[in-house]
Structure formats: C-alpha cells, structure tokens
Structure 1
C-alpha cells in the first residue's frame, strides 16, 4: 500500500504483529537467556575475589555483630536507674576514663566500648556526644538571637518614647547591659520634670516599660554568662541535660551548674521581652495620636499585648529567681577559699 510517508522515503508504521515478530526474533530463548545471566554473574564474582571462605568469614562476623547488638539492647533496657539518654553510655564527670577490665561481652564498663571485632559502640558514643554539643550550641544560639531581638525592641521603644531616632546613635555601640541601664534612666526621667520637654508618654506604658527593663537586668546578667563562659555537657541522674560553665579566664574560674532547659527558658524570656518592648513602643505612638478607646479597639491592640507580655515575663522571672521555674537550674559554685 502506497502512502504519503513512503513517497518521502519514510518507513511505514509497524503493525502489532510485525512488532511482536521482531521482538521474538531478537530475544534469545529462555535457556540461552539464563545461561548468559549466569555467565555475567560468574565473571563478576571472580573479578571481586569472592570465595566460599570469604563468605563464611563474613557470615560469622555478621552473626557476632548482631549478637553484640542484641546483648547491648538487653543491657541498656535493664539499666533503668540511668537516665534514658545515658543508658549504656554513662559519661565520666572527671574528664578522665577509669581503667577497668572489659566484661565477658567485651564492653568497657566506663564507656561501653567494645574491645573486639567492631567499633560500632564507640561510634554511637561519639554521635551521642556530638548530639549533646549540638543541642547545647543551638540553645546558646537561641539566647543570642532572642537577646538581639530584645535589643532591637529596646532601641525602637526608646526612639518612640523620645520622639527621635537619634537615640539609636547613643545605644548602637553599647552592650546589652548598658542599653538597659541607659534606657531605664531615660524612661524614669519622663513625666517627672516640667523643664524636660519630650513628646507625651502614656503613664501605663511608662510603667510597663520600667517593669520590663527591671526584668531584663536579671536576664542580661545570666545571658552574659551563657554567651561568654565556656560550657560543656555534664549529665547526672538528677539532671540528664545538665551543663557546666566556667569563665573564660586563666584565674578565678568560678563554675556555674545549669541545664539545657534553663537555656531554653532564658531564650523564651528574651523573646517575651522583645515582644513587650516592641508593643510598648507602638502603643506610645498610637496613644499620642488617638484616644485609649480607639487604640484598644484595634485588631492588633498594642496595649493589651504589652500588658500580657509584661505579666508573663514578670511571672517567669519571679519563678526563675525562686528556683521554681520548670527545668530551671542556676547554681554558682564559689571558688575554694585559699589559706
């Protein structure tokens, strides 16, 4: 049959029967196909140097490995007196490993280190230590980030209170502690002297700002120790996520015992402080332009937000200072007295 395709030299479309015949003709029979596969497999085995002896040796090592893992799983399950994160991997608190004889399974009693065949437990212990350091460093980074946000909120609040952005140049190079101290002095001076002229400041917002700055003094002191001290994990049965910090000085290394939960709580305190100071700054500006009833009716009511944040922050700081905040631990270990 002549078609337009054949006129241009193009092949005619292939029918289903023709395609089936072509595939059957190009595919070897079933026995030949299996024989070809076996030959390829045999050549690959010979090239890899795989022998029966090697397979037997690998099989015995695999059995020994799974047996050791099973024994270890039973061991850490039975050690219920240890914290869950430390079962089978107790960390020495003195920084040095004690010499001890491995038990019948080859486990070192101090570090749970296998003495033969495989170093898997050593690798797992290193991974656990890396996880501890990673959690600690993330918690420290969270405090740095949230305290930076609190610093920004503080600068915005002072600029709104003073009615000028020039206050930025006064606070830009100051430490967080200096920023809190200077800002507190400025807020205290408002609405107190008729000779000191400044834009009107709502009395309630002034009071909330002073309360927030007062709480920040307590937080900043601990934030500075977290950021500038040298910290390391120090887990105990009572504090499985315990931390120990020392000052980065050659002499006078007073220690602080804390916990990962404490760092997270401090992070949340600074986040609340940032929200509080930001809401106070917005409320001060809104209340200058509108009456309190209008501001309270806004969708994002800054007055209500400032009140809520101030209450939450004050409650957290009070619980922390009394040691009743969940997970809070801040024990300063004094230096031993010298004769």
Structure 2
C-alpha cells in the first residue's frame, strides 16, 4: 500500500514523534546519569538494588510528563491540520443549507490529500448548485419573456372582442393562429429539453431512409427559405439508418428555421454523410458567421447572438438547444464552427448502426 495523502501524513507525524521522543529520552538519560554520578553515585540504584532510587523515580516521572507533552503537541498540530478543512466544509455546508450558495470551503494544507479532495468536491457541488439556481432564474425570466408577447396579443384581442371594441370580422385570425403556433412550438421545445434533463426523452428507433426524411423536412421549409432569399442545396448519402426519424426531422427543421432567421441570403448547403458507423448532418450558410467565442454556446437554451438580428427576426432561443438535446439523446453531439467562406457550419454527429426497431429512454446528462 502506498502511503499517500492523510495516511502518509499521519504515518510521518507518528514516526517523527517516536523518533524525537527516543532521541530526547536517550540523550536526556545519558546527561542525567552522567551528572548524577559526578555529584553522588549513591543517588542512583546499584546493580543489586531491587528498586530505583528517588532521583531515578523523579527522572522517570519527568520523562513521562515530557512524553505526554510531546504527544499532546504533535496531536494538536496534526488534529488542527486535519480538522481545519473539515470544519471549513461543515461551516459552509450550514451556509449552503441556509441558502448561501456562494459559500466555499478552504483546503488549508493540501498535502492531506483526502481532506483536500473533500473540500474540492464540496466546492464543486456548491458551484454547481449556484450555477443551477442561476440558470433556473434565467430560464424562468426567459420563458416569461417569450410567453408574454403572444399571450398579451391573444388576451388583448379577445378582450377587445368581449368589450365590443373589435368585431370578429375585423380580426386577422391568421395572425392570431401564428401566435398560437409560436406558443405551441415553445411549449414543445421546453418539453423536449425537460424530458432530456430528466432522462425521460423517449426515442422510437427504427431503420429509416434518413436521406428521404431529410428531403421531406427540407421541402416543408422550402417556402420559408425562398422568402428569406436562401437557395437550399442538398448533398445526401442514401442508406438505411437506425434512428428516430421524427426527432431528426425536427432537427432539420430547427436548423433550417435558424438559418432563415439569421443567415444572410445566398446558398445554403445541407449535407448528410453515412459511413456505416456514424451519421454526420451538416448545414453550411453563407454568413455572417458566428464569433469563435460564441460558437460553443449557441446550443445553450436562450443563448442568442446578434441582438439586432434577434429583434428583427425573433425566435425563442430554444431551437438549437433542442437540436443538441436530440443529438445527445442519440448518443451524439452538436457543434458549430466558422466555415472557410465566412459562414457557419452546424454539425450534428451520432453513431448509427443498423438494428431492429426499438424504443429507448435517452440517458440523463
């Protein structure tokens, strides 16, 4: 067994105390008896004496007290080193329990490996709790913000009808239906993310011609793409893939909708590559591109880039988060990078072996 961390420190402290005590007793005894013999040899017992003399009893008592004091000093020093981080964790656990999520413990002497690890684990837990609480407040505010506009429009219009301000024939029902559809999409996106976080997102896996599914999803977005000035180009590998086709159509629609809102008019390339082990779905636009610092964050819920474009084109800020959630549910990942032409490339990759149809629960993340 390797002597590491707390075990090593206790072993070293005990060994040091014993060595120091032996050396002190041996040296002290040699000096004591040398002095006693010089003063009066009769003060110490002779070889034929049964019991020690008084001076020897006093020396034994002195050595006993000295050993106890030495042991207490070493114990207090070692106990203080061990208890300092433990007490720090205990105090900060109470602070966290009373709602102070900014509480952090201090490790003190990091040579005590186990206690330092305990402090690090506690601080990591407290930091995660604080981040979760902060994200929860952000989510609540963002959801309230996204729900406020359509609900206000619907309530104002209906209240106007009830009060006789508007006549039913004067109301633009397609506009109201659009607001209801926005609410429906927002609710479904939130449901998808919450199911994934709880590990309850169900995937209905079956062998599907993914190229056909992607093509059908793209055709649904064709009018919207044309209105945004985007010319969609498809480069799709054919073949059967074990996947949840409905969820992946949702991914394609979300990516194309995001491009309609934020990409510059021009070519838009949607490609699908299959190599028998992995599926790679990519969407490349012509610009304006995403800053390198923002690229890793675009798949976070309610994370948005250009404020002016957001105000001009709207969006809930959940589309790409849903894309990443569905990718993770398939055992894959979502990423974003800048293309060589100055645009953005959104990449969804996941393992896709062939197999029998199945229904599974997405793993918790």
Q: Same fold (TM over 0.5)?
A: no
Q: TM-score, normalised by structure 2?
A: 0.28
Q: TM-score, normalised by structure 1?
A: 0.30
